[in-house]
């Protein structure tokens, strides 16, 4: 296992040499850590209602109480604890939905771009149809009829957003397949499936990473919109907290602001880390 | 021209037309005749140069031989087997014997694969070696093409154009193919590197008894390496002969003008072959001119050339085939004034 250790150290060293990459990694590690140990970190029970302490501002403001660092919502529940717990589902949903979308979209993009012709038209017409229907509408329809649990939610968002990957990968493959190294592989007698996996897939990873990191952000937003409509994953999520606070923006701005900040920081961290990952996976970057 | 039965490769009446019809409602089909009735055969160990301007169909011919494209008509017989009749699986197996070297060393190597994996891929694909045996074969091959073993774990972008082309050659050679199609293998390289690569190819040809098809757009590259040269114009072979024969005694006006399009360095050696210099553009292969396709640019053309298509026939010199109604003779070539006089 010595080689494994070596490569891990090499990666760590490469991460250290990139400032933005390290920042992204630190943010993501912190958020993951918080999500994993939420029950130890959170100072209050997230469901504990205390009407005497309803709508308290953050502790550093006039009228704030030191035990409620980020203030409370209209039922007097501790916002800080709720934001900490919210990271669990938000992160899980954001990342899993992106994986589901990628697992569907990338192979379809590869096949569609490489084979062309009827197969390509077939998949691209499905993509066109998919774009024409808003994600929210698909989610409303499916989740409205079926039991809106967490897994169902992840699947629906993944299935509704796969087309971004398919389109990006397809357009990339269209130009790659005209390169001579693909011709060389065909001339050698390499099977099409192997060409797709060994020659095309590694060359589209950078675009896929860029799309995925941006998609995590979109997914968290979709999750918040659906939570607002009452079709969310029925749990404490940043999106749900955000929509809870929307009605009280004028009087208690903190209820919506802190989950919003949490989303922004997490998304930034994912984008920074993704950017670094894209650079590292490109053989041109390390000589 | 008659085809040699024992030849390694026989190309029989091969045509490749691309459908370029415009619009959905047009009933008249338009075709781009990239390769139009090409015949030749190739003996084991021979090096055939194919020369022609851009767009004459020489690369398409290469792709047809490689089975990257299917001919519209005609047969390509390799090693006694007609390639287009093979099933996909049999063809994949047969590909072991025919390999290709590409023009652009910057796009012919997968940027995400290490040199070792690039050179090893053909062996892995055909399951010919694995483990230490594979390693040894790949290292040997890198050495043969003049690359150090220690480069095996690097990525293609760390190499120069010439080195990349060597990697491409190593990849083509690992399977010990019988035939290699070289599609302008040196035209993307520096002049100083071109000679190195040509010498390497010649050395390897002797060492491995290779049969080569060497595609190029000018006589100079082909002159050095080939035994036999075929000249293509607008999808047809206009002249094919042994190298010395073709260079010293070109019979087709197009071959002549290709020869004279090479600048001569010594002023006293420059002759007044002004009228045989090529002028104008090559006509479109979508609507090739009737009769002899070269008549629009030919200094010797007359009415017959505009109406009748000349066949590729043997001249009084053996093994020298030309498709021209008025093949050139040495006297005509050497004395351009008398040529003018005959035409007048």
A189 vs B95: CB contact, 8 Å cut-off? yes
- pLDDT in the model for residue A281: 78
pLDDT of residue A100: 94
pLDDT, position B172: 93
Residue A216, pLDDT > 60, answer yes
Q: Which of B92, B110, B111 sits opposite A189 (nearest CB)?
A: B92
Cβ atoms of residues B74 and A170 within 8 Å = no
Structural domains of chain A, ranges and CATH numbers in brackets: 20-285 (1.10.3720.10)
Candidate from B98, B107, B175 with C-beta closest to A181: B107
pLDDT at A274 over 70: yes
- Residue B214's pLDDT is 93
- Average pLDDT over chain A reads 85
pLDDT at A257 over 50: yes
Across the interface, of B103, B104, B110, the residue whose CB is closest to A199 is: B110
Burial class (CB in 10 A: 0-12, 13-18, 19+), A7: exposed
pLDDT for residue B5: 64
- Torsion, CA A90, CA A92, CA A97, CA A100, rounded to 10: 180
Q: What is the mean pLDDT of residues B160-186?
A: 92
What percent of chain B is modeled with pLDDT above 70?
Answer: 91
pLDDT for B65: 92
Model confidence at A283: pLDDT above 70: yes
| Position B339 pLDDT exceeds 70 | no
Q: How far is B215 from chain A (nearest CA, A)?
A: 16
Which residue, among A238, A259, A273, A260, has the nearest Cα to A88 in the 3D structure? Answer: A238
| Cα–Cα dist B211/B202, whole Å | 11
Centroid of chain to Cα A269: 11
Q: Which two tokens stand for residue A42?
A: 């959170």
pLDDT value at position A277?
A: 84
Query: What confidence tens digit (pLDDT) does each residue in B192-218 have?
Result: 888 899 999 999 999 999 999 999 988
To the nearest whole Å, the CA of B327 is away from the closest chain A CA by: 39
Of the pLDDT bands very low, low, confident and very high (cuts 50, 70, 90), residue A287 is very low
Q: What is the pLDDT of residue B122?
A: 93
Q: B122 CB near a chain A CB, below 8 Å? A: yes
Answer yes or no: do B98 and A187 touch at CB < 8 A.
yes
Question: Looking at residue B341, what is its pLDDT?
Answer: 40
Q: How confident is the model at residue A9 (pLDDT cuts 50, 70, 90)?
A: confident
- pLDDT tens for each residue of A185-194: 999 999 999 9
Q: Is the pTM of this model over 0.90?
A: no
Q: Give residue-wise pLDDT tens across range A15-69.
A: 888 888 899 999 989 999 998 888 888 887 888 777 887 777 887 877 777 788 7
Calculate Rg over the CA atoms of chain A.
22
B121 touches chain A (CB under 8 A): yes
Give pLDDT tens digits for B214-252.
999 888 878 888 999 999 999 899 999 999 888 888 889
pLDDT at B344: 38
Residues of A in contact with B95 (CB under 8 A): 187-189
| Strand ranges in chain A using DSSP code E only, listed in sequence order | none
- Report which of residues B183 and A136 the model is more confident about: B183
pLDDT for B318 equals 79
């Amino acid at each position: 296992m010595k080689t494994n250790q070596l490569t891990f150290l090499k990666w760590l060293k490469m991460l250290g040499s990139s400032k933005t990459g390290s920042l992204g990694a630190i943010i993501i590690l912190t958020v993951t850590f918080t999500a994993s140990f939420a029950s130890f970190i959170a100072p209050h029970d997230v469901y504990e209602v205390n009407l005497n302490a309803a709508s308290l501002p953050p502790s550093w403001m006039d009228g704030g109480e030191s035990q409620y660092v980020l203030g409370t919502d209209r039922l007097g529940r501790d916002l800080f604890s709720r934001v900490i717990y919210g990271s669990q589902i938000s992160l899980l949903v954001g990342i899993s939905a992106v994986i589901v979308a990628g697992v569907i979209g990338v192979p379809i993009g590869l096949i569609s771009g490489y084979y062309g012709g009827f197969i390509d038209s077939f998949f691209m017409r499905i993509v066109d149809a998919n774009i024409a229907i808003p994600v929210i509408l698909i989610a409303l329809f499916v989740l409205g009829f079926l039991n809106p649990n967490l897994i169902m939610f992840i699947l629906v968002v993944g299935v509704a957003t796969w087309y971004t990957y398919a389109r990006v990968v397809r357009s990339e493959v269209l130009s790659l397949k005209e390169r001579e190294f693909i011709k060389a592989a065909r001339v050698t007698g390499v099977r099409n499936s192997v060409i797709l996996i060994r020659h095309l897939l590694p060359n589209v990873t950078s675009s896929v990473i860029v799309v995925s990191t941006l998609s995590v952000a979109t997914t968290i937003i979709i999750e918040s919109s659906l939570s607002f409509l009452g079709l969310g994953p029925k749990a404490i999520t940043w999106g749900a907290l955000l929509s809870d606070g929307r009605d009280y923006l004028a009087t208690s701005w903190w209820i919506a602001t802190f989950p919003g900040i949490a989303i922004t920081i997490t998304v930034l961290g994912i984008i920074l880390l993704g950017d670094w990952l894209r650079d590292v996976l490109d053989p041109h970057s390390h000589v | 021209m008659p085809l040699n039965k024992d030849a390694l490769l026989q190309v029989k009446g091969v045509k490749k037309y691309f459908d370029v019809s415009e619009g959905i409602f047009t009933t008249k089909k338009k075709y781009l005749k990239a390769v139009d009735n090409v015949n030749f055969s190739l003996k084991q160990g021979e090096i055939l140069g194919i020369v022609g301007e851009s767009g004459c169909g020489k690369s398409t011919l290469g792709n047809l031989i490689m089975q990257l494209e299917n001919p519209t008509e005609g047969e390509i017989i390799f090693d006694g087997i007609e390639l287009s009749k093979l099933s996909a699986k049999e063809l994949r197996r047969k590909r072991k014997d025919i390999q290709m070297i590409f023009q652009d060393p910057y796009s012919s190597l997968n940027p995400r694969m290490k040199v070792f994996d690039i050179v090893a891929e053909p062996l892995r694909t055909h399951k010919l070696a694995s483990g230490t045996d594979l390693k040894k074969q790949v290292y040997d091959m890198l050495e043969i093409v003049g690359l150090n073993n220690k480069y095996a774990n690097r990525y293609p972008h760390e190499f120069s154009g010439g080195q990349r082309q060597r990697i491409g050659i190593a990849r083509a050679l690992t399977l010990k193919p019988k035939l290699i199609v070289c599609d302008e293998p040196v035209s993307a390289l520096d002049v100083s590197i071109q000679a190195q690569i040509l010498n390497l190819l010649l050395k390897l040809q002797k060492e491995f008894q290779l049969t080569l098809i060497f595609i190029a757009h000018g006589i100079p590259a082909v002159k050095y390496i080939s035994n036999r040269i075929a000249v293509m114009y607008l999808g047809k072979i206009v002249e094919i002969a042994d190298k010395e024969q073709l260079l010293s005694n070109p019979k087709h006006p197009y071959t002549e003008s290709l020869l004279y399009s090479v600048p001569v360095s010594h002023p006293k050696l420059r002759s007044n072959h002004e009228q045989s210099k090529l002028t104008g553009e090559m006509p479109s292969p979508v609507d090739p001119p009737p009769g002899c396709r070269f008549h629009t640019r030919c200094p010797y053309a007359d009415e017959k050339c505009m109406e009748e298509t000349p066949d590729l026939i043997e001249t009084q010199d053996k093994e020298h085939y030309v498709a021209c109604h008025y093949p050139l003779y040495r006297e005509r070539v050497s004395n351009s004034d008398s040529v003018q006089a005959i035409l007048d």
